Amino acid sequence: MTYPTFYDVEQTFETSRIDNIAKAVDTAFASFDSSTVKPEATVGITVGSRGIDRIVPLLHAVVRNLKSIGLRPFIIPSMGSHGGSTAEGQTAILAKLGITEESAGCPIVSSVETVSLGLLDEGAEVFVAKDALEADYVFVMNRVKPHTLFHGEVESGLCKMLAIGLGKPRGADNLHNFPLEKVIKPAALRILEHINLLAGLAVVENAVEKLHTLKLCTSNEVVSTDSSLLSISAAILPRIPVETLDLLIIDEMGKNISGTGMDTNVIGAWRRMAGERKPEYKTLVVLNLTPQSQGNAHGIGMADLIPKRLADSIDPAATYANSLTTGVWASGRMPITLATDKAVIDAALAKAPTTLRAVRITNTLSLQHFWATEAVFSDLKTAGATVHPDKTNTLTFDSTGTLMPFETC
């Protein structure tokens, strides 16, 4: 097999960031009206399973500010059915993120017990964590970004944290039986009618996963905050600036990268659900599952070819639980699995044209630098990406057939 030459490609992204998180949180709270806050009242802080940039100092600053206005904060793990749908599993996920009672500065109260808030007009039953109902206040916190399954006025953000995260396994399972673009917002509004929301903290990350925007909002501003920050997030979301490829090689997928392991906004939502094949990446190869995924390979069904080493790292129970919750069965199906990375790459190249349009990326988040074959140079230059023709790599494998990392350019 003759392997193609790949060239280093660089994209210029929005990389402005918040450097001093504690100061940014303090500034946000400076305009918060605490005059009506009941002293010594409890406040449950929602914390999800996603790895928000510098989540530990961010959360610690929130806890410190809540204490400064006389409240008694505690953390409510708010991650739907993640963590095996158990209280212990969800606490363990927080620990993996570095979030403990010691690091946060407050207790963690983990339970999957919920209360039904009735049916929406769409027929979906809304559930909310009992701990949130019993708290004097709730403080909702989440990252805002485009969703991998649907597009709408609100997507992944504060409303989703309320509806899915605080819904615990029962709420997440139920809402995923309906079109999320139709039920997320009304479910969140229903929950807001029953909890006492102190405030919401929405954050946006830049194209290199660093905190870019932070906004504190009131209960009445939750939807508008989600919507306005979604526009910012969508505008700076990293993408591959090529519409058609014969081959896309992804070194790793994982839950810490995207809820679907690989961001469908990058690889094409049609690979998960029916729809327009845009972008059209004909063959998708994935080589590894991140350790942070803890075996959950939800989204693996979007790949065409994988090596046995990836297949061996998958925990079927965790993967199927996630896929059953979303109701997208294809996300949990196994692609064609071959013995080694080399066997996978060879099979992909055997069906590709001589003039190969190919790209290799580390993952769907790390797109500031990637590698591409000469056939896509024109597309890259049109999109404003910089190609370094003097920085080249080729596909090489170790003695076990594992694809070697490209030399850093």
- Average pLDDT (108-116) is 96
The CA-based angle 61-227-30, given to 5 degrees, is 30
C-alpha distances in Å from residue 286, one per residue of 24, 73, 170, 306, 356: 38, 42, 32, 5, 18
Burial of 40 (0-12, 13-18, 19+ CB in 10 A): exposed
Residues 149 and 246 in one domain: no
Residues 216 and 250 in one domain: no
Count the domains in the chain.
2
| 404 occurs within a structural domain | no
Paired tokens of 72 = 């008694």
| 399 occurs within a structural domain | no
SS3 track for 248-308: EEECCECCCCCCCCCCHHHHCHHHCCCCCCCCEEEEEEECCECHHHCCCCCCHHHCCEEEH
Residues 214 and 242 in one domain: no
Residue 57, domain CATH: 3.40.50.11440
Amino acid at 192: L
Q: pTM of the prediction? A: 0.78
Provide the domain limits for residue 301.
Answer: 5-13+238-394
| 23 occurs within a structural domain | no
Q: Is the pLDDT of residue 170 over 60?
A: yes
Q: Is the pLDDT of residue 409 over 60?
A: no
Q: How many residues does the chain have?
A: 409
- Say if CB 286 and CB 309 are below 8 A apart: no
| 20 occurs within a structural domain | no
How many whole angstroms separate alpha carbon 181 and alpha carbon 323? 18
Residues 44 and 192 in one domain: yes
Domain boundary among 236, 258, 288: 236
Residue ranges of E strands in 2-47: 5-10, 42-47
Domain boundary among 186, 211, 236: 236
Residues 198 and 267 in one domain: no
pLDDT confidence band for 82 (50 / 70 / 90): confident
| 406 occurs within a structural domain | no
- Average pLDDT (180-192) is 95
How many whole angstroms separate alpha carbon 282 and alpha carbon 303? 10
* Residues 57-68 pLDDT 10s: 999 999 999 999
